[in-house]
Structure formats: structure tokens, C-alpha cells
């Protein structure tokens, strides 16, 4: 059980409106990612659900019951913080046991659950250490362990991977996804990293300035962005946005083409351009090309392509993959 | 090598530091030495520094004339009592001001500090009358209350600064883990703030132990602590330096020893490794 419903939820700090009226349905067992640039209100929205901030107006329902005025301790949710927020004076065992102790379980039951969580998260060897003696990844696991032992209705993650290095981030991303498969519990995950959003989410909520721009499955947002903001935010490298006469000729004031939807040829194509920087990654090559009458265009080409700085090449956007936007930036 | 200090300079600085240290310590040392002299030697001119007839006659006289254990016990009760009572009030107060500040929190803090700027004698009459009417004159409980009140602003300020350094996310984590207010303060905040609470406690014990104004004016015989014990040796018949020194040495020794042993606790940090 872990469905969460937001009804016309708003949040203001003084005279500043951080969250404009938001309606959102999160189903039981779903992995939902809140994504958006910094300052878009995604963390605030998570803290409102957690109960760490009070809503200014509107209602939050958990499992169909109004939870708006229930304190965080009683909402049945668990949270993993960006800073891990472990208790520095407690060992790993006591950190993980803390929520169970607060729930008033007996010691034998607590020990059994803590050992189980430590085993799942490969923490058994560190169980008697303090947080100060652990690496970043281990601390992150303890924070997750502390969240899972209580078997909450939903997990809330507030940018949990942003303090880890790139390699570890990739690993933990997988571990969290696996955890979701195993536990099948609702998870709400806040990030500014659209790669995390795309790879982990069942449903992505794109936020900007306290407003939901679009909600949908990752592939749906990728294929059918509702507006220019979502189009540019989702997908890496970013979608090419083209305006002017080229766009007019294709039937819209603004068009967008993803770098992976442009074919490259050395002999013929719709656009002629010059290669600026070319990044050879092995699997792919990213070409930054200056195209006559269009401007800068990024292209994701085959890894083995033999194009270098100053070379001339022809580009052809794939007709079915072109996104068209009206003057106000909405998709048409 | 911008930070290198020449040997000569190091010698000079060390000598200077020791000199200043010795100057600060000298009155205590002199009191200690005088307590082992006879009254005659204590006022001898020129005074003898180390080469005099060391004897315990002053201590014997002091112990015959007054009841040191009683005053000592009163001092312990008053300083510990006022400290514990003060902490019970100050921990929740500092928690509130550090973690859920309101619009007027800064003003309240400044107002509390400003009460320390008023000379205590300014409130002597009202407090004396209150104590008389409530039957608190010359009682230990009365002194516990008044010393707790005069030191409370300092305790709250110190705890407030320590609490400010504790990351709020850890307390939020406790809330998410199901801890209600008192569990959060008891299991999470207090253990993390142990070094801060310990140094606050020690400082307050020292302040209360050494407090002379209220302990002298509000007590007579029953509740008189060691400050009154020292004062009783400055009598109208004249100053008896050896006995006065013996009494002072006996009064400050416990607090000096306490300070010596708790040095480590005061500097230990626990919060490291909690976040990031």
C-alpha cells in the first residue's frame, strides 16, 4: 500500500510562491522521479509529501486518507537524504535499528530485521562501525538500510546520488532500481539529472518554477514532449532547436531534432555544414557542426565515423522524428 | 617557507608565553604558598617566597573555626543543582531557537543577553523581598533558583551556538524515522551535542561555584556555600592572610581539579562524518 495523491497543493515562503497549485497521482508501487533544474521546487514538493514542510494550501492523501496535518513521524514514509543524514554517534547497526526502536519493536525482532537489511545491502562487515569510518557509498547504503527496515508505504529519495563519484553513482542507480524490483514499494525520487530520471523512472514529473510541465513514462516524454522546455530537458545530448526560415519551410515557427535523429553523409543531404569539435567516444561520435542557414547543430553519429575538425558533411533530419512547436513553445 | 619561524624567535615567544602564563597564575600560587605560612610570615616584609617554615597551622585553625564539609556540600548542591535545572530548561529552549526559529528569535536572544548587562545589585531589593516572603532566604533551593536564573542566558546562548552547528537534516531524518519531539531531542540531538552540553555544564558549574554576590547576600548560616566560608575570614578584627589563603585554597581546589580532568571532554568533537 503506498498511493499518494496531491490535490491543489501549494507552498509559499513568505511572499514567494515556490509551488503553484499542483495535482498529482502516484500509484502504489510506482517509481516516480521529480526532475527539473535547480530551484524548480522538486525538493520542496518532496518535503511537503514527507511532512517536513507544511503545505500552504491543498491536501495530501496517503493511501486515500488525508495526511495533510499528520506529522512526518506518523506518515509511514521513509526518506533518504542527499547528505545521508546518518546519526554520527551511533554505529551502523544502531542507525539502521533506530526507526524500529522508535516503532517500539522488541529487541529480538529488531536484531533480525537489521541483520537482514545489512545482508541485502552488503553492510554486514561494517555493522559495528560509525558513519565517520565509512566511505560515501557505504554511508549511502546505511541510509537506504535505515529506510527499508521499517517497510514503509513509500520511499522518498532527495538527490541521493549527487555526492557520489560518477562510477559509484552508476552502481547505486542500479542498486536502487533493483531494490525497487525486489520490494515493489512506491518510490519518489528527486534529481536534477535527467539520465537518472530516464533510467530509473516508471513515471517522470518534469517541474519548472513550481509548475508541472509534463507527467509521463520516460519514453513518452522523450517521444512526445509537450513543450520546448521538456523537449530540451529530456534527452542527452540536448535536442537541437531550430528557428527561422529553415523551420518555417518545415511547417512550424520552431522545430526540434534530437542529435540521434540526424543522418550524416559525406556526399549528400538536406543541410551542408562544417565540423567544429568532434568527440569520439568509441561507441558514438558527437559532432558539433556549424550548418549554413541553421546554426549550431549537434549530431550523434556512428562511433567509427571518420570526420574531424574542418571537414564538410551533409546532414538529413529524419522526417518522422522532427518535433514542431508553435510560437508559444507548445508542441503541435 | 612563509611560515617558518627561526629558533631564536621561537625561544623568545615561548619565554613570553610562559611569563604571561606565570603572571596570570601568580595570585593563585601566592595564595597557595601563603596558606602554608604562619600569620607572622604571611605579612612579613620582604616576603619569603619558598624558604619559610612550611606548616599546616592555618588549615588547622580554619577547620577548627568553621565547618568546611558543610560549606563544601552547599556549594556542590547549589552549583550542580542550578546547572542541571538550567540545562533542563535551556536544552528545549535552545532547540526551539536553533531549529524552529521564529521572527523574533534573534530579539529574544539579544534580550536575554541584555539582562546580563544589568548590575545584579539593581534587582537586589525585589529579589530579597521575594525571597523573604517566599521563605527562601538562606535555603539551598533558593540559591539554586537564583543562580540558575542569572546563568540561564549564558547556558542558552552557548547551547544555541552548539546546536546551530548540528545539521538540520539529521534531525529531519529522525523525524522521518518515526521519532517524536522528545525522542528526537533525547536520542539524536543531545548525544550529538554532548561536547557542547558538557562544556556548557562545566562552565556553568564554575560560574555558580564562584558566584559571590547572591550567595553572600541571600544566605546566613544554613545554606552558605564556600564563598561565604572564605568571606568569613575577612573579619572586622583585621585580615588574617594565612587563614584566608588556606580557606581560599580549600574552596578553589575542587573546581580546579574538576576543570583539569574535564579538559578532554571539552574539546572532543562528535559530529564529524555525519554528512557528506
Using CB atoms within 10 A of its CB, is residue B223 exposed (0-12), middle (13-18) or buried (19+)?
A: buried
* Segment A149-181, tens digit of pLDDT: 988 999 999 999 888 888 888 888 998 999 999
pTM value is 0.77
pLDDT, greater one: A7 or B268: A7
* Segment B20-43, tens digit of pLDDT: 999 999 999 999 999 998 888 888
Residues A275 and A263: their CA atoms lie apart, in Å, by 14
Judged against a pLDDT cut of 90, whether residue B206 lies above it is answered with no
For residue A330, being part of any structural domain is answered with: no
pLDDT given for residue B232 in this prediction = 82
pLDDT tier at B274, thresholds 50, 70, 90: very low
Nearest to B177 among A83, A102, A156 (CB): A102
Residues A205 and A114 in one domain: yes
The average pLDDT across A106-135 equals 92
pLDDT given for residue B264 in this prediction = 66
pLDDT given for residue A191 in this prediction = 94
- Give the closest residue to A257 by CA, choosing from A173, A321, A325, A182: A321
Boundary of a domain, candidates A232, A249, A269: A232
* Segment A67-101, tens digit of pLDDT: 999 999 999 999 999 989 999 989 999 999 999 99
Per CATH, the number for B66-232 is 1.10.3720.10
Domain that holds residue A282: 237-325
CB spacing of A83 vs B169 below 8 angstroms: yes
Nearest CA-CA distance, residue B131 and chain A, Å: 44
Strand A57-62, strand A4-13: pairing: antiparallel
For residue A201, being part of any structural domain is answered with: yes
- Please tell me which residue of chain B has the smallest CA distance to A140: B276
Residues A154 and A101 in one domain: yes
Judged against a pLDDT cut of 90, whether residue A1 lies above it is answered with no
Q: What rounded mean pLDDT belongs to chain B?
A: 86
Boundary of a domain, candidates A198, A232, A266: A232
CB spacing of B167 vs A83 below 8 angstroms: yes
**The CATH number of the domain where A281 resides is what?**
2.40.50.140
Q: What residue segments make up the domains of chain B, in order of their start? A: 7-60, 66-232
Q: Which H or E run contains A221?
A: helix A218-223
CB spacing of A89 vs B194 below 8 angstroms: yes
pLDDT given for residue B266 in this prediction = 56
Judged against a pLDDT cut of 50, whether residue B76 lies above it is answered with yes
CB spacing of B272 vs A102 below 8 angstroms: no
pLDDT given for residue B145 in this prediction = 94
Nearest CA-CA distance, residue A51 and chain B, Å: 9
Residues A94 and A202 in one domain: yes
The average pLDDT across A274-292 equals 92
pLDDT given for residue A236 in this prediction = 86
Strand A16-26, strand A65-66: pairing: unpaired
Boundary of a domain, candidates A188, A203, A232: A232
Residues A93 and A46 in one domain: yes
Nearest CA-CA distance, residue A1 and chain B, Å: 18
CB spacing of A73 vs B188 below 8 angstroms: no
pLDDT, greater one: A120 or A325: A325
Residues B146 and B140: their CA atoms lie apart, in Å, by 10
Cell 619559610 locates to B52
Residues A96 and A216 in one domain: yes
Amino acid at each position: 500500500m503506498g498511493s499518494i495523491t496531491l490535490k491543489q497543493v501549494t507552498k509559499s515562503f513568505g511572499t514567494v510562491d515556490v509551488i503553484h497549485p499542483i495535482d498529482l497521482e502516484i500509484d502504489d508501487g510506482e517509481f516516480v522521479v521529480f526532475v527539473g533544474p535547480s530551484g524548480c521546487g522538486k525538493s520542496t514538493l518532496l518535503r511537503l509529501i514527507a511532512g517536513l514542510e507544511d503545505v500552504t494550501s491543498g491536501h495530501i492523501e496517503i493511501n486515500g486518507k488525508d495526511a495533510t496535518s499528520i506529522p512526518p513521524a506518523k506518515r509511514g514514509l521513509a526518506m533518504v537524504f542527499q547528505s545521508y543524514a546518518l546519526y554520527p554517534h551511533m554505529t551502523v547497526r544502531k542507525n539502521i535499528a533506530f526507526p524500529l526502536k522508535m516503532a517500539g519493536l522488541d529487541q529480538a525482532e529488531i536484531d533480525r530485521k537489521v541483520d537482514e537489511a545489512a545482508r541485502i545491502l552488503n553492510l554486514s562487515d561494517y555493522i559495528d562501525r560509525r558513519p565517520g569510518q565509512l566511505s560515501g557509498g557505504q554511508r549511502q547504503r546505511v541510509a537506504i538500510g535505515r529506510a527499508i527496515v521499517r517497510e514503509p508505504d513509500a520511499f522518498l529519495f532527495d538527490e541521493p546520488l549527487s555526492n557520489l563519484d560518477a562510477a559509484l553513482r552508476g552502481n547505486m542507480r542500479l542498486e536502487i532500481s533493483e531494490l525497487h524490483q525486489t520490494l515493489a514499494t512506491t518510490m519518489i525520487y528527486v534529481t536534477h539529472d535527467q539520465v537518472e530520471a530516464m533510467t530509473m523512472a516508471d513515471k517522470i514529473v518534469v517541474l519548472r518554477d513550481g509548475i508541472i510541465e509534463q507527467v509521463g513514462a520516460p519514453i513518452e516524454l522523450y517521444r512526445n514532449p509537450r513543450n520546448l522546455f521538456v523537449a530540451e530537458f529530456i534527452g542527452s545530448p540536448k535536442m537541437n532547436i531550430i528557428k527561422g526560415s529553415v523551420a518555417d519551410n518545415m511547417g512550424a515557427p520552431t522545430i526540434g531534432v534530437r542529435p540521434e535523429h540526424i543522418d550524416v553523409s559525406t556526399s549528400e543531404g538536406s543541410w551542408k555544414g562544417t565540423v567544429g569539435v568532434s568527440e569520439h567516444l568509441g561507441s558514438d561520435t558527437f559532432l558539433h557542426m556549424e550548418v549554413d542557414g541553421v546554426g549550431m547543430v549537434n549530431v550523434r553519429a556512428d562511433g567509427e565515423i571518420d570526420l574531424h575538425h574542418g571537414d564538410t558533411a551533409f546532414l538529413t533530419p529524419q522526417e518522422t522524428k522532427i518535433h514542431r512547436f508553435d510560437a508559444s513553445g507548445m508542441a503541435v | 617557507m612563509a611560515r617558518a619561524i627561526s629558533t631564536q624567535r621561537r625561544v623568545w615567544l615561548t619565554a613570553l608565553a610562559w611569563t604571561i602564563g606565570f603572571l596570570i597564575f601568580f595570585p593563585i600560587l601566592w595564595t597557595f604558598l601563603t596558606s602554608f605560612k604562619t600569620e607572622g610570615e604571611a605579612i612579613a616584609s620582604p616576603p619569603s617566597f619558598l624558604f619559610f617554615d612550611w606548616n599546616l597551622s592555618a588549615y588547622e585553625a580554619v577547620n577548627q573555626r568553621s565547618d568546611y564539609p558543610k560549606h563544601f556540600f552547599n556549594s556542590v548542591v547549589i552549583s550542580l543543582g542550578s546547572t542541571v535545572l538550567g540545562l533542563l530548561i535551556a536544552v528545549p529552549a535552545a532547540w526551539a531557537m536553533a531549529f524552529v526559529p521564529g521572527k523574533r528569535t534573534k530579539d529574544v536572544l539579544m534580550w536575554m543577553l541584555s539582562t546580563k548587562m544589568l548590575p545584579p545589585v539593581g534587582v537586589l531589593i525585589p529579589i530579597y523581598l521575594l525571597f523573604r516572603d517566599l521563605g527562601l532566604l538562606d535555603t539551598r533551593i533558593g540559591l539554586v533558583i537564583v543562580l540558575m536564573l542569572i546563568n540561564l542566558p549564558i547556558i542558552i546562548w552557548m547551547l544555541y551556538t552548539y546546536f546551530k552547528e548540528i545539521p538540520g537534516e539529521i534531525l529531519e531524518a529522525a523525524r522521518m524515522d518515526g521519532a517524536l519531539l522528545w525522542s528526537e531531542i533525547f536520542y539524536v540531538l543531545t548525544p550529538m551535542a554532548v561536547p557542547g552540553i558538557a562544556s556548557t555544564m562545566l562552565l556553568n558549574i564554575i560560574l555558580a561555584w564562584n558566584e559571590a554576590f547572591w550567595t553572600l547576600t541571600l544566605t546566613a548560616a544554613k545554606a552558605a556555600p564556600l564563598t561565604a566560608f572564605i568571606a568569613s575570614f575577612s573579619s572586622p578584627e583585621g585580615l588574617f592572610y594565612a587563614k584566608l589563603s588556606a580557606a581560599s585554597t580549600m574552596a578553589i581546589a575542587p573546581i580546579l581539579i574538576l576543570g583539569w580532568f574535564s579538559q578532554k571532554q571539552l574539546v572532543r568533537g562528535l559530529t564529524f562524518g555525519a554528512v557528506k
